[in-house]
Every structure is written in structure tokens, then in C-alpha cells.
């Protein structure tokens, strides 16, 4: 009984099903021929009608020509039938075929060789049918091509991995041929659908085939060579077809395969070979991006995404690989990468057609790498000092070029430096050397750089946009607040290390606040800086509140007297100055 059913299935699958398809195709062709005989004169009539309509519209007012631009409503019935239901049907059909073959294999209806032959013959039939129908039923035929290619991939994968009846080299070569065939069909029929099938099948090939027992480094060289050919094919497609999504997926798959290989098999002795291969891919994609952006191709968001992923994925690989042999050289490697990107900018600027956004993106990436280099190479407060000096340099270049992008990046590095200082560099230092410890020097470097940036902005206020003209004052204000914070921290730690009395500590802190406010007020009066006077009044207000609600109630009698007299005297002097300076 089982043999009888097996014979029926084989006859149906190999003979009857193709015959049914051919009968349907013949019937469809006959119907099309009959329709063409009926309407063979219609093109002439339609042409005359169009000419008469155009002539009539030319004699009318221009506004009435908008009738020709009216969009036709989408026929969702046709869209669903032709596209969505069709692709869903292809998927379900493939699932059904897979389930049928699984059932047949489990019941041992066919031996291994027959199973592979059935797959190859089926794929060939689908490819043949797609080629025959491509001129009249494009979408339908592309689906048939896709089914055939998927069946080819599955057949050679199964023959190598499960049945071991085809050697690895032959299976690998056949999958390369299938991918090449799919690329040719993609260019011939202008189908991104076939391009994606080729892309997925091509990148899955080294993953699903069981390779021979060879050294890991040799396997990596083979993988890199294969991926280089594969990427060259898809980049070539992208030159002729405006499908920017293809290089993005190709690069993601490439770096993904490298990541998994390094995660599973990398050893420090493979460093030179691995980093050389990955560097080739980085430069290929960098050159591809820079060569595309010009008069012929406008830069799109996907191009920016491709650039960012290429730079930072490669940087991550470099840092990891360098760390495996010399951890202290990670900072230098970041500086080298920043130099490479900067050099690429100078080369790219010589192009006749260039995109300024790509230039800014590369410069931004190089600055980020330079910023990352300091914490990779330096330690502790030296990182903050290097960041703040870098921020000042970038900001100055942004004023000199001038470049809003450079100034914005400078502001970002300023913020990072301040956050790092307040979060990591303000830990307690129990020392009497208040003005000579690392924390104080780091804080004052930030303050000086902020004041210099504010002064430079004031001198070149004419080049700043209207929204940015308030930033110089903001930089100076942040510098004043940092001085206040640094003064508080240093006085607190110095008193704790010398006096160890909470009352004296609070008294000295209140007096120091009032003295700093007095000095700031004097500077504001002499140089007529309104913001300095505002901050002086704010700090005076804080010292008054502290004296009234904390010091007078918690300190001893002697300390209350001292802090009250000193603070009151400073406030009287401030009041006298304001009475004397009627116009400021």
C-alpha cells in the first residue's frame, strides 16, 4: 500500500503537476490572444482621443490641466490579490512542501539521492516557469524565481550537512553559483526581492555548511575572501540600482559574521591576520560611501547610517583586538583612527562634487574617537583636563572656520568634562594643600577654559546665530557656579583636615562665600559686567540664608559673633558701593 501511494505522489509531483500548470498557461495565453484580437484597433482610437483632449486643454486656461494630474484611487482588491496574498501563498506553499518532504523522509519513501534530485528538479522547474512568464506576469514570475532559488539553497545545504553525499567544496561552489545567478537575475529583471534572496542566501552559506577540518586562521581567511567577493557583488548592484538598503544589510551581515567568529575562535596569535582582513572591509565601505556622495547621488539617511555603523563597528573590533595583545595601546589606536578619518576628510574635500554633511559626520566621528582616546590612555583627573582642553580647541576652531557643527561638539565636550569632574573627580582629599591638589587644579582648568570660550565668543559675536548669542554669557555663568562649588569643597576638606571642628568649618565657609561674592561684585563694578554682579548678589543671598538659618543657631557664641560681624560688614560695604554707583 505504501509503495502504491508513493508511486502516485511521484507521478503527481513530477508529471501531472507540470502538465496542469502548462494547461493553465496555454488557456491564459489563448484568452490573451482573443482579447488582443478584439481590441487591436483600440490603440489608434485611444491615440486620437488623447491628441484631441490635449489639443482642447491647450486652448483652455492652465488651471484646468490639473485634470491630467489627478491620481487614480488604489484598487485594494487587486493589490491584495496580486501582491500580499500572492507572497503569503508562496510562503505557505513552501511550508507545505517542507512538511510534505519531512513526512516523506520520516517514512523513508525516498533515499537520500532521490530527495536531492527531487529538490534540484523542482527548483529547475520553478526557474523555468518564472523565465517563461516574466514578460507578462512579472510579480508572479519573481515569486517563482524566489521559490526555485530557495529550493536550490536547501537542496545543497541538506546534501552537505545531513546526508554528506556532496563534499563541502562542491556544495560551497554550487551555493556561490546560485548566489551569482540570483545577482544576474536581480540586474536583468530589476528586482530588489531577488537581491534580498541572494543577500540572505549568500551570507547564510558559510553559516549553514559544515566545513572541513582546517586551522582557524585559514578558515578566517577563507571566510574573509568569500565575504569580500559577496560584498563586491552587492556594492556593484548598488552602483547600477538605487537600492541603498542593500549595502546596509550586507555590511551588517559581514560585521555580524566577523563578530561571531571572533567570539568563538579568536586567539591573540591571530591578531595581525584578523585586523588586516577587517581593515580591508572598513576601507572598502569608506571609499564606497565617499565615492557615491556627489552630483549623481544625493546623500540619504541610510548613507549616514552606513557611515556611522562602519566607523564605530570597526573601532569596536580594533579596540577589542588591540586589548588582546597590548591594552595600553588602545588610546593610541583611537588616535590613529581619528587621524585616518581626518585624512579622509581632506581627500574628500578635493572632490568636485562633495556633500558637506558627510564631511561633518566624519569630523564628528574623528572628534568622538579623539575624546574616547583620553580615557583609554590616561587615568583619573588627567582625562578631565584633556577633555576640557580638547573642548576649548574644538570651540575655537568652530569660531575660526566658522562652523556651527564644531561649536556644538565643543559644547558637548564641555558638558562631558563638567559631568566627569563633578561625578568622578570631586572625591574627598584630606589635605592642607588646598590650592595644589589634583581636584582643585582640574576644576580651575575647567573654569579657565569656560571663561576663555566665553571671551572668544564675545569677540566674534557677529558670526554667531541669534539663538547662540546667549551662550557666551551662559558659559561664564557656569564657570562662576563651578568656582562656587570648588570653593565650597576645598574649604570643607581643608577645615576637616586641619581644624576638625564643625562650627569653625561652617563659619569659615560662610565667610568664604561672602568674600567670593564681594570679589565678584568688585569685578562686575570695575569692568561693568552685569552677569558678574547678578551672580555676586546670588552668592551673597546664599551666604545670608546660611548665616541666618544655620550658623546663628548651631554655632557657639564666639563663632556667632565672628560670622555675624564679618558677614554684616561685607553686606554694609556692598550696600555702600551700590549707593555710590548710581549708574552701573
Give the Å distances, CA to CA, from 554 to 497, 505, 562. Answer: 21, 12, 14
With the C-alpha atoms ordered 184, 187, 188, 194, is the resulting torsion angle positive or negative?
positive
Contacts of 517 (CB under 8 A, 6+ apart): 536, 537, 539, 540, 543, 570
> What one-character-per-residue DSSP string does 96-124 give?
HHHHHHHHHHHTT-S-HHHHHHHHHHHHH
pLDDT score for 346: 87
Q: Burial of 537 by CB count in 10 Å (0-12 exposed, 13-18 middle, 19+ buried)? A: middle
| pLDDT tens digits for range 482-500 | 999 998 888 888 877 777 6
pLDDT score for 447: 94
Q: Is 555 helix (H, G, I), strand (E, B) or coil?
A: coil
What phi, psi does 297 have (nearest 5°)?
A: -120, 120
Q: In the block, which residue shows the cell 582616546?
A: 373
| pLDDT tens digits for range 50-96 | 445 445 444 444 443 343 444 555 555 555 555 555 556 666 766 66
- Give 464's DSSP letter: S
Contacts of 515 (CB under 8 A, 6+ apart): 570
With the C-alpha atoms ordered 328, 331, 334, 340, is the resulting torsion angle positive or negative?
negative
In a 13 Å sphere around the CA of 458, the CA atoms on its Cβ side amount to 12
Q: Looking at the chain, how many residues does it have? A: 584
- Alpha carbon distance, N-terminus to C-terminus of the chain: 110
Neighbours of 211 (CB within 10 A): 14
Contact call for residues 567 and 550 (beta carbons, < 8 A): no
pLDDT < 50 regions, the chain: 1-26, 41-51, 53-54, 56-70, 295
Q: Burial of 26 by CB count in 10 Å (0-12 exposed, 13-18 middle, 19+ buried)? A: exposed
pLDDT score for 411: 93
In a 13 Å sphere around the CA of 13, the CA atoms on its Cβ side amount to 17
> What one-character-per-residue DSSP string does 435-486 give?
TSSHHHHHHHHHHHHHHHHHHHHHHTGGGS-GGGTTHHHHHHHHHHHHHHHH
Give the Å distances, CA to CA, from 82 to 89, 146, 320. Answer: 11, 16, 50
C-alpha cell at 434: 588646598
The residues with which 293 forms a beta bridge, in sequence order, are 297
The residues with which 297 forms a beta bridge, in sequence order, are 293
Q: In the block, which residue shows the cell 501563498?
A: 89
C-alpha cell at 308: 556611522
Give the Å distances, CA to CA, from 546 to 513, 564, 578. Answer: 10, 11, 23
Q: Is 438 helix (H, G, I), strand (E, B) or coil?
A: helix
Contact call for residues 161 and 176 (beta carbons, < 8 A): no
pLDDT score for 105: 58
| pTM score of the predicted model | 0.62
Q: In the block, which residue shows the cell 484631441?
A: 52
Amino acid at each position: 500500500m505504501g509503495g502504491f501511494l508513493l508511486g502516485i505522489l511521484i507521478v503527481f509531483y513530477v508529471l501531472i503537476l507540470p502538465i496542469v500548470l502548462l494547461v493553465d498557461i496555454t488557456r491564459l495565453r489563448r484568452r490573451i490572444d482573443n482579447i488582443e484580437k478584439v481590441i487591436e484597433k483600440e490603440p489608434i482610437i485611444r491615440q486620437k482621443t488623447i491628441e484631441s483632449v490635449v489639443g482642447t486643454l491647450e486652448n483652455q486656461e492652465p488651471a484646468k490641466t490639473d485634470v491630467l494630474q489627478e491620481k487614480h484611487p488604489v484598487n485594494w482588491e487587486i493589490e491584495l490579490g496580486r501582491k500580499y496574498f500572492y507572497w503569503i501563498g508562496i510562503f505557505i506553499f513552501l511550508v507545505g512542501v517542507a512538511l510534505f518532504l519531512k513526512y516523506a523522509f520520516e517514512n523513508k519513501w525516498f533515499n537520500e539521492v532521490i530527495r536531492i534530485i527531487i529538490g534540484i528538479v523542482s527548483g529547475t522547474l520553478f526557474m523555468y516557469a518564472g523565465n517563461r512568464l516574466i514578460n507578462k506576469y512579472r510579480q508572479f514570475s519573481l515569486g517563482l524565481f524566489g521559490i526555485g532559488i530557495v529550493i536550490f539553497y536547501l537542496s545543497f545545504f541538506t546534501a552537505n550537512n545531513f546526508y554528506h553525499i556532496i563534499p563541502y567544496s562542491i556544495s560551497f561552489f554550487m551555493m556561490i553559483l546560485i548566489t551569482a545567478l540570483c545577482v544576474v537575475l536581480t540586474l536583468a529583471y530589476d528586482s530588489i526581492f531577488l537581491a534580498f534572496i541572494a543577500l540572505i542566501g549568500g551570507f547564510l552559506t558559510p553559516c549553514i555548511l559544515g566545513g572541513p577540518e582546517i586551522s582557524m586562521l585559514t578558515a578566517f581567511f577563507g571566510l574573509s575572501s568569500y565575504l569580500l567577493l559577496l560584498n563586491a557583488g552587492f556594492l556593484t548592484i548598488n552602483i547600477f540600482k538605487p537600492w541603498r538598503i542593500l549595502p546596509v544589510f550586507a555590511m551588517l551581515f559581514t560585521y555580524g559574521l566577523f563578530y561571531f567568529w571572533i567570539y568563538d575562535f579568536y586567539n591573540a596569535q591571530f591578531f595581525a591576520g584578523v585586523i588586516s582582513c577587517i581593515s580591508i572591509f572598513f576601507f572598502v565601505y569608506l571609499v564606497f560611501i565617499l565615492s557615491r556622495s556627489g552630483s549623481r547621488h544625493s546623500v540619504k539617511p541610510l548613507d549616514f547610517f552606513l557611515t556611522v555603523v562602519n566607523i564605530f563597528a570597526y573601532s569596536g573590533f580594533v579596540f577589542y583586538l588591540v586589548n588582546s595583545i597590548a591594552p595600553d595601546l588602545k588610546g593610541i589606536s583611537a588616535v590613529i583612527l581619528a587621524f585616518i578619518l581626518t585624512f579622509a576628510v581632506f581627500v574628500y574635500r578635493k572632490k568636485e562634487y562633495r556633500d558637506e554633511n558627510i564631511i561633518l559626520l566624519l569630523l564628528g566621528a574623528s572628534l568622538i574617537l579623539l575624546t574616547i582616546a583620553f580615557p583609554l590612555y590616561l587615568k583619573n583627573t588627567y582625562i578631565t583636563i584633556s577633555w576640557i582642553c580638547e573642548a576649548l580647541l574644538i570651540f575655537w576652531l568652530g569660531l575660526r572656520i566658522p562652523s556651527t557643527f564644531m561649536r556644538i561638539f565643543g559644547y558637548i565636550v564641555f558638558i562631558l568634562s563638567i559631568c566627569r569632574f563633578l561625578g568622578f573627580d570631586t572625591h574627598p582629599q584630606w589635605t592642607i594643600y588646598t590650592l595644589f591638589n589634583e581636584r582643585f587644579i582640574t576644576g580651575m582648568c575647567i573654569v579657565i577654559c569656560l571663561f576663555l570660550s566665553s571671551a572668544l565668543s564675545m569677540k566674534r559675536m557677529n558670526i554667531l546665530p541669534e539663538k547662540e548669542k546667549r551662550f557666551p554669557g551662559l558659559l561664564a555663568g557656569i564657570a562662576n557656579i563651578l568656582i562656587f562649588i570648588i570653593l565650597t569643597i576645598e574649604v570643607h576638606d581643608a577645615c576637616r583636615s586641619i581644624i576638625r571642628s564643625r562650627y569653625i568649618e561652617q563659619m569659615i565657609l560662610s565667610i568664604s562665600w561672602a568674600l567670593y561674592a564681594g570679589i565678584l561684585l568688585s569685578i562686575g563694578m570695575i569692568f561693568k559686567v552685569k552677569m558678574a554682579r547678578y551672580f555676586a548678589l546670588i552668592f551673597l543671598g546664599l551666604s545670608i540664608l546660611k548665616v541666618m538659618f544655620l550658623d546663628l543657631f548651631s554655632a557657639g557664641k564666639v563663632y556667632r559673633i565672628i560670622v555675624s560681624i564679618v558677614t554684616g560688614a561685607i553686606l554694609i560695604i556692598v550696600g555702600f558701593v551700590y549707593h555710590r554707583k548710581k549708574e552701573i
